[in-house]
Amino acid sequence: MPFTFARLTALPDCVLIRTARHGDDRGWFAETYKKSTLASAGIHAEFRQDNHSFSARVGTLRGLHFQIAPAAQGKLVRVLSGEVFDVVVDLRDGPAFGRWASVKLAAADSTMLWIPEGFAHGFQTVVSDTAVTYKTTAEYSPEHERGIRWDDPELAIPWPIADPILSERDRTWPSLSRALQTR
């Protein structure tokens, strides 16, 4: 089987995916996306855009980002080089609202994360020279973009590096409760 799937305990709609590598003395080969295999695990997505970010320094934090309807995004996140502490926050109405989960995603172990629509997403690099790519189910739409403060006390996420490197935009997102007033 080229993929194995594990649902996140705290947020079972988010799925950790590990791809199998087939190697020899030249290196290795892995399938990184196969629609039918993901569908067999309940992941039905039509991707509209691919994104690629590179972070040169340890501690770079990107997030917590989301888009509201009609441009809400599901994401399939993969680390091409390096490693990240990846976080998802459930923003859907229901008993899991405001619950978050984190996973390690690393190029070395070929892990990916499926994040359906209705979640905020962010990550922090834990090694230098980290490249992350992700497929999205909707195109980027500035008018639908929102975010949540990375250090919102309501969430109390234990980021591995306490003094992150942030963009000005990520530094000024509102708290969870204030961010959702604008959805």
The CA distances from residue 147 to 24, 141, 180, in Å, are: 43, 13, 9
Q: Which of 33, 134, 140, 144 is catalytic?
A: 134
The model scores a pTM over 0.75: yes
Give the pLDDT confidence of 73-125 residue by residue, as tens digits: 999 999 999 999 999 999 999 999 999 999 999 999 989 999 999 999 999 99
Residue 44: active-site member: no
**CA-angle at 36, arms to 3 and 85, nearest 5°:** 40
Task: For residues 132 and 107, give the distance between their C-alpha atoms in angstroms, rounded to a whole number.
Answer: 9
Amino acid at 176: L
Residue 121: active-site member: no
The pLDDT of residue 182 is above 70? no
Give the closest residue to 114 by CA, choosing from 1, 29, 32. Answer: 32
Give the pLDDT confidence of 19-55 residue by residue, as tens digits: 988 999 999 998 889 999 999 999 999 999 999 999 9
Q: Are 161 and 84 in contact (CB under 8 A)?
A: no
Give the mean pLDDT of the chain.
95
Count of beta carbons in the 10 Å neighbourhood of residue 95: 8
Q: Are 31 and 2 in contact (CB under 8 A)?
A: yes
Q: Which of 44, 52, 65, 140 is catalytic?
A: 65
